């Protein structure tokens, strides 16, 4: 199993006692003397005259039993600190009763220590319980961790700590990048100057220098000015020197050395006129020369030199092919003059990477930045790379990654995953359980559906189905409490008995039913046009017409996923023709204790550039890349946003590559619940396709959808004028449906990506947003004379969890 199996408590199925009570129960089951936690001691029973039955559980909601007290005695005056004299005068070991504190002492004289003292334990970012006189952590708040093992400072590590990203001690060290931590994964929050992430992998950091002629300013732009030796400094392409026979006469390095110096107007120099017959090779002569033949000896009578092939006069008279005197070992041989340019052949393992033949083949091709070829960066996901042999290989795997498939191409396996928990092939999948592997050891996080872990042994998963007709809770037989003639788990519904989450025969994802006041949950019948729910700030419900009263939304924190709005209802109906429009900054969950029926539309989609509810939160590399306005006259299109699939790349303009499409993120289970990601802006424009929102419907019994549930992404705007690029489309959002039975026979579930905006030519079409959960968004079209089009947004994520998903099963 890959190390010791550990249990960590999160939300649990019906009958769950809550994290503090569960900790007491777990300790009680393992203690040699269970009376320490849930029974009076024998000494206490004898001390108060034997009147306390040791088999009767202590009721924490009432005052402690006062066996042996004198009912006819007048109450004694209280002491300081909430203490009072013990009315049981025979208990000489405890003369004063005080409120219980976490100190290992029987403060209230009931024969037990610390039984109500957990409220005295206040730890930062943690739920705490008092055990054996000390406060201990039972669960950390959303995303926080206790990495130093000291309960005194609570869960001291925040979820975005780059030194403990995803697990304690798992640091983020990304090459040439400012490291960040998002949802337990290391990401490049930004690249250092003159570096970029061209492979779009957070595991390789910002692996590519973008101040070289192969990648100048960005990942796709090569520096190749006309008739010049190029140079790239601080990401800007410029001219190192002009080739023989050419000059930069207009002072604009963007068009290279644009002026040939073999014309009568520019003869051997800018604006140097020649009053004779010709100027081939930069020699003003009376000889009537036609290129490539030139009068290099200047006798005015013949054109004796071929400047296209003469190594002593290559490209111009007096321009010999020779290595620079300062070069000791050029690692190359001169091939002569070819088409007016000096040509060389490199030795094996060396390359002319700066484009200047005069210094030979200056770059060894066995380095990480020039591996086998100039500008070929050696970067291996999950590994420390090596190019000692001229081929990119794995030197070693980085922490928590391994080459489990043995192909030697990458360290592809994350050793904190359920498939490889702590080592290759060590599975962490337990029966009927949600498991985790954040620390490299398998952990049971929660039980699935109606299963619970009653024996406290996580190795066998969650072994008891509380939906069975004879058992609804660990050790608690079921009874026919609702009088329908059948003993079943629905008898525990809070409308009959206030047991909070018992109406759900499974553990809902992303919220704890224990946090909801189900007795106050109304029935909702939405049949009056458009209902609007705004999840931003103080949540507002407009035209929520069915229930009386209108439900009160609650805002809860998802572990590792930010806040989510929960609207609790007993039942939900959205009539045909009715629309529920969900907007705002947070995802929305409809928590329905009984049945839900959707014949109309619930829409949490993006609207153009406006994000859907809960869209574009902590997207990182899943957002489409913006295109800078500094690229040139014809800018590229923005990349499409990603989520379930990646976004499409923006089309290139003549002077600028398109923005990169966003990558995938999140989990197929949509835990935590999150929306999609925005598209990127086209060069020089500000708009971008909005991200699809996040919607969850959790029904305690059945869910029937004959209408539409929409979380699609927004289309990117077209170019804003001139030669500027179009924007990328936003990705589709997240849609999670869970119930005992789900019927989607006639449903429309829409999580498509938004389309990219057209480029400035208007005929340069934006990439189509993905309509398939297996395919990325399409790439926008490029244009060599105008702005490129935006990339299409990736498909969102749709998760469906039910015991039955069928037709006619309701």
pLDDT over 70 (residue 31): no
Give tens-digit pLDDT for 323-335: 999 999 999 999 9
pLDDT over 70 (residue 67): no
DSSP lists the bridge partners of residue 566 as 554, 589
pLDDT: which is higher, 772 or 183: 772
Distance of CA 628 to the CA centre of its chain: 24
Confidence band (pLDDT; 50, 70, 90) for 37? very low
pLDDT over 70 (residue 808): no
pLDDT at 631: 75
Confidence band (pLDDT; 50, 70, 90) for 395? confident
| Burial class (CB within 10 angstroms; exposed 0-12, middle 13-18, buried 19+) of 190 | exposed
pLDDT over 50 (residue 1): no
pLDDT: which is higher, 172 or 692: 692
* Whether 584 contacts 533, CB under 8 Å: yes
Q: Which two three-digit tokens encode residue 640? A: 């499409």
Beta carbons within 10 angstroms of residue 271's beta carbon? 10
Residue matched to tokens 């003549």: 654
pTM comes to 0.44
pLDDT over 90 (residue 805): no
* Whether 621 contacts 188, CB under 8 Å: yes
| Helix (H) / strand (E) containing 116 | none
pLDDT at 347: 95
| Burial class (CB within 10 angstroms; exposed 0-12, middle 13-18, buried 19+) of 667 | exposed
Task: Report the chain's mean pLDDT, rounded to a whole number.
Answer: 81
pLDDT over 80 (residue 756): yes
Give tens-digit pLDDT for 254-304: 899 999 999 999 999 999 999 999 999 999 999 999 999 999 999 999 999
Confidence band (pLDDT; 50, 70, 90) for 470? low
Alpha-carbon dihedral angle through residues 127, 511, 795, 532, given to the nearest 10 degrees: -130
Give backbone dihedrals phi and psi of 689, rounded to 5 degrees, phi first: -65, 135
Q: What is the DSSP string of 413-470?
A: EETBSSSSBSSTT-----TTEEEE-TTSS-EEEEE-TTEE--SS-GGG---EETTSTT
Q: In whole angstroms, what is the distance from residue 515 CA to residue 70 CA?
A: 42
pLDDT: which is higher, 549 or 625: 625
Kind of pairing between the strands at 797-805 and 734-743 = parallel
Give tens-digit pLDDT for 671-694: 999 999 999 999 888 899 999 999
SS percent in the chain: helix, strand, coil, step 5: 10, 25, 70
| Helix (H) / strand (E) containing 142 | none
Strands (E), 174-265: 177-182, 185-191, 195-196, 208-209, 211-212, 215-216, 228-233, 236-242, 246-247, 259-260
Q: What is the mean pLDDT of residues 31-55?
A: 30
* Whether 666 contacts 636, CB under 8 Å: no
pLDDT-above-90 percentage for the chain:
47
Give tens-digit pLDDT for 598-621: 999 999 999 999 999 999 999 999
HEC sequence for 77-102: CCCHHHCEECCCCCCCCCCEECCCCC
Q: What is the mean pLDDT of residues 81-99?
A: 81
Q: What residues contact 608, with CB distance under 8 A and at least 6 apart? A: 689, 690, 714, 715, 717
Q: What residues contact 667, with CB distance under 8 A and at least 6 apart? A: none
| Burial class (CB within 10 angstroms; exposed 0-12, middle 13-18, buried 19+) of 376 | middle
Q: What is the DSSP string of 118-129?
A: GGG---TTEEEE
pLDDT at 27: 30
pLDDT at 467: 62
């Amino acid at each position: 199993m890959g190390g010791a199996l550990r249990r960590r408590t999160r939300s649990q199925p019906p009958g769950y006692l809550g994290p503090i009570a569960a900790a007491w129960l777990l300790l009680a089951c393992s203690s040699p003397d269970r009376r320490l936690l849930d029974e009076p001691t024998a000494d206490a029973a004898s001390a108060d005259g034997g009147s306390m039955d040791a088999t009767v559980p202590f009721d924490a909601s009432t005052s402690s039993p006062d066996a042996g007290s004198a009912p006819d005695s007048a109450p004694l005056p209280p002491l300081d600190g909430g203490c009072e004299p013990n009315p049981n005068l025979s208990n000489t070991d405890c003369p004063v009763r005080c409120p219980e504190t976490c100190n290992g002492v029987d403060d209230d004289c009931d024969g037990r220590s610390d039984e109500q003292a957990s409220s005295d334990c206040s730890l930062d970012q943690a739920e705490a319980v008092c055990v054996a006189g000390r406060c201990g952590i039972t669960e950390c708040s959303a995303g926080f961790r206790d990495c130093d093992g000291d309960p005194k400072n609570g869960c001291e590590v925040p979820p975005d700590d780059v030194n403990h990203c995803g697990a304690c001690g798992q640091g983020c060290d990304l090459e040439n990048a400012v490291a960040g931590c998002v949802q337990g994964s290391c990401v490049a929050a930004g690249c250092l100057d003159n570096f970029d992430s061209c492979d779009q992998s957070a595991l390789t950091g910002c692996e590519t220098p973008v101040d070289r002629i192969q990648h100048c300013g960005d990942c796709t732009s090569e520096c190749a000015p006309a008739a010049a030796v190029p140079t790239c400094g601080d990401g800007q392409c410029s001219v190192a020197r002009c080739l023989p026979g050419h000059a930069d006469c207009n002072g604009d390095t963007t068009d290279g050395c644009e002026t040939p110096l073999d014309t009568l107007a520019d003869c051997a120099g800018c604006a140097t006129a020649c009053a004779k017959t010709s100027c081939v090779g930069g020699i003003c002569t009376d000889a009537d020369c036609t290129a490539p033949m030139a009068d290099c000896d200047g006798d005015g009578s013949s054109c004796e030199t071929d400047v296209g092939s003469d190594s002593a006069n290559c490209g111009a008279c007096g321009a010999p092919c020779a290595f620079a005197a300062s070069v000791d070992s050029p690692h190359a041989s001169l091939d002569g003059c070819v088409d007016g340019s000096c040509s060389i052949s490199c030795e094996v393992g060396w390359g002319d990477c700066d484009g200047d033949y005069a210094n030979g083949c200056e770059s060894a091709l066995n380095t990480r930045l020039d591996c086998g070829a100039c500008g070929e960066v050696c970067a291996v996901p999950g590994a420390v790379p090596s190019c000692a042999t001229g081929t990119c290989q794995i030197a070693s795997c980085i922490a928590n990654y391994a080459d489990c498939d043995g192909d030697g191409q990458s360290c592809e396996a994350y050793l904190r995953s359920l498939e490889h928990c702590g080592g290759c092939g060590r599975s962490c999948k337990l029966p009927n359980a949600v498991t985790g592997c954040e620390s490299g050891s398998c952990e049971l996080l929660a039980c699935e559906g109606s299963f619970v872990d009653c024996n406290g042994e996580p190795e066998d998963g969650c072994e008891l189905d509380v939906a069975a007709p004879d058992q609804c809770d660990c050790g608690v037989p079921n009874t026919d409490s609702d009088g329908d003639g059948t003993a079943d788990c629905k008898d525990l519904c809070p409308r009959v008995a206030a047991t909070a989450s018992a109406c759900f025969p499974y553990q809902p994802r992303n919220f704890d039913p224990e946090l909801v006041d189900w007795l106050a949950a109304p029935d909702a019948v939405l049949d009056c046009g458009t209902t609007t729910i705004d999840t931003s700030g103080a949540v507002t419900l407009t035209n929520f017409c069915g229930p009386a009263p209108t439900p009160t939304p609650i805002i809860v924190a998802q572990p590792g996923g930010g806040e989510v709005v929960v609207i609790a209802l007993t039942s939900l109906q959205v009539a045909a023709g009715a629309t529920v429009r969900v907007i705002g900054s947070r995802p929305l969950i409809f928590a329905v204790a009984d049945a839900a029926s959707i014949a109309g539309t619930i829409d949490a989609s993006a609207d153009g550039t406006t994000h859907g509810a809960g869209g574009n939160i902590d997207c990182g590399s899943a957002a489409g890349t913006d295109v800078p306005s500094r690229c040139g006259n014809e800018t590229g299109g923005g990349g499409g946003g990603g989520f379930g699939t990646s976004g499409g790349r923006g089309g290139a303009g003549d002077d600028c590559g398109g923005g990169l499409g966003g990558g995938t993120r999140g989990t197929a289970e949509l835990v935590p619940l999150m929306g999609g990601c925005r598209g990127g802006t086209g060069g020089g424009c500000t708009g971008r396709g909005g991200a699809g929102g996040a919607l969850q419907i959790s029904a305690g019994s059945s869910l029937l959808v004959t209408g539409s549930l929409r979380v699609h992404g927004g289309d990117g705007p077209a170019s804003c004028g001139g030669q500027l690029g179009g924007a990328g489309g936003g990705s589709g959002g997240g849609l999670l449906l869970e119930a005992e039975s789900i019927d989607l026979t006639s449903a429309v579930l829409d999580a498509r990506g938004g389309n990219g905006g057209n480029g400035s030519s208007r005929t340069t079409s934006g990439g189509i947003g993905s309509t398939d959960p297996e395919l990325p968004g399409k790439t926008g079209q490029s244009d060599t004379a105008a702005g490129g089009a935006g990339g299409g947004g990736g498909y969102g994520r749709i998760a469906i969890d039910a015991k039955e998903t069928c037709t006619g099963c309701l």
